[in-house]
Chains A and B, each alone.
Chain A
Amino acid sequence: SQQGEEDPQALSIQEGENATMNCSYKTSINNLQWYRQNSGRGLVHLILIRSNEREKHSGRLRVTLDTSKKSSSLLITASRAADTASYFCATDPIGANNLFFGTGTRLTVIP
């Protein structure tokens, strides 16, 4: 399967703490993307990291990519209650023209 697998499936933290989510995948990729989804609504694109990049930052988000281990992590620093959502990694495999999503991590930030 080319699907990414997120870990953990669910995460509950206090506001102000950092949240780390991990993603593993199986094939060679052009890039890996992280998306956020609130309560079964549309997906919001958070950040894209290309296969030749190792780390990327966007505001409170930090993404790492290790292509040798076929894994990525998303770190949300100083979490807020509004960060409560499901987070998905999506891989863009070489030779494919679509994204492959994992099953997601459900993050709950407690005020």
Chain B
Amino acid sequence: ETGVTQSPTHLIKTRGQQVTLRCSSQSGHNTVSWYQQALGQGPQFIFQYYREEENGRGNFPPRFSGLQFPNYSSELNVNALELDDSALYLCASSLQGSDEQFFGPGTRLTVL
């Protein structure tokens, strides 16, 4: 166990809806990164948050947004859901400047 938790475990939504996924980072970690993993693929970087601000973003549209809170937990919000958004969403916490990221168990999102 990495100490990183995510909720919910599974989620089913329909096209056009909005979703919020949550991540609690490992104690002492100040950085959270979010990844999207489509079926059969490797994780793709969405964005990273450090000290409550976005600190890097991958090739994802603006309808993917996030927040980081003072306790370093984080949310990933996706608006106007599309079928292709169906994936496992992983968050990873780390200490800024450290090489290693600790991943949570993921949230499986299905968009119908």
B42 touches A3 (CB 8 A): yes
Who on chain A is nearest to B105 by CB? A42
A103 touches B102 (CB 8 A): no
A104 touches B42 (CB 8 A): yes
Q: Size of chain B's interface in residues, with CB distance under 8 A? A: 28
Given A88-B42, A97-B48, A104-B42, CB of A40 within 8 Å of CB of B108: yes
A42 touches B106 (CB 8 A): yes
Given A40-B88, A45-B100, CB of A98 within 8 Å of CB of B105: no
B103 touches A43 (CB 8 A): yes
Mark interface residues in A8-28 (1 if CB within 8 Å of B CB, else 0): 000000000000000000000
Given A30-B99, A42-B2, A103-B42, CB of A98 within 8 Å of CB of B104: no
Who on chain B is nearest to A9 by CB? B40
Who on chain A is nearest to B102 by CB? A45
Q: Size of chain A's interface in residues, with CB distance under 8 A? A: 26
B42 touches A45 (CB 8 A): no
Who on chain A is nearest to B41 by CB? A103
Closest chain-B Cβ to A37's Cβ sits at a distance in Å of: 9
**Residue B110 at the chain A interface, CB threshold 8 Å:** no
Most buried by A among B33, B42, B48, B108: B42
**Residue A41 at the chain B interface, CB threshold 8 Å:** yes
Who on chain B is nearest to A50 by CB? B99
Instruction: List, in ascending order, chain B residues with CB within 8 A of A90's CB.
Output: 42
CA distance in complex: A48, B101 (Å): 11
